[in-house]
């Protein structure tokens, strides 16, 4: 689960099994839709879990939150709303998807076994972490 924003503070909550690739797609405007239309290119929050169902459930829950609650969540991890993907870019990582990659939600379930876990970061005391 991750949250993207733009210079105006518009928020987008999404879920992916390959965060670096998905953020790259948002930055490049690969897919038409909300994130491309509003130029949501800054990663300001993310979490991970090895369970795809938990990630989707968390995404849906956060999408249902009021804006103020989402902003509080972001501020706990990233008080200055820095682009958390800048480190990947600085390291020169190539997050572009391989040609055979078919997307995030295809074949969810048994096919996700052995995939990279969804990224998660929660500050101490939030969401059950100590």
Instruction: Return the domain boundaries, the chain.
Output: 2-112
Q: Give the per-residue pLDDT at 90.
A: 67
CB atoms within 10 A of CB 84: 20
| Cα dist from 48 to 16, 29, 55, 120, whole Å | 9, 24, 7, 3
What tens digit of pLDDT does each residue of 38-89 get? 999 999 999 988 899 999 999 999 999 999 999 999 999 999 999 999 877 6
Mean predicted lDDT score pLDDT of the chain: 77
pTM of the model: 0.70
Q: Give SS3 for 27.
A: helix
Q: Give the per-residue pLDDT at 87.
A: 79
Please indicate whether residue 61 or residue 115 has the higher confidence score (pLDDT).
61
Domain 2-112 falls in which CATH fold?
GIY-YIG endonuclease (3.40.1440)
């Amino acid at each position: 689960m991750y949250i993207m924003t733009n210079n105006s503070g518009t928020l987008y909550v999404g879920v992916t099994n390959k965060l670096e690739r998905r953020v790259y797609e948002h930055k490049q405007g690969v897919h038409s839709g909300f994130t491309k239309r509003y130029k949501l290119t800054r990663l300001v929050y993310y979490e991970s879990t090895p369970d795809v169902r938990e990630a989707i459930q968390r995404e849906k829950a956060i999408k249902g939150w009021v804006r103020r609650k989402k902003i509080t969540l972001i501020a706990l991890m990233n008080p200055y709303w820095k682009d958390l993907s800048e480190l990947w870019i600085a390291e020169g990582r190539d997050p572009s998807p391989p040609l055979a990659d078919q997307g995030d939600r295809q074949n969810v379930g048994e096919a996700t076994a052995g995939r990279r876990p969804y990224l998660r970061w929660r500050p101490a005391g939030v969401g059950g972490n100590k």
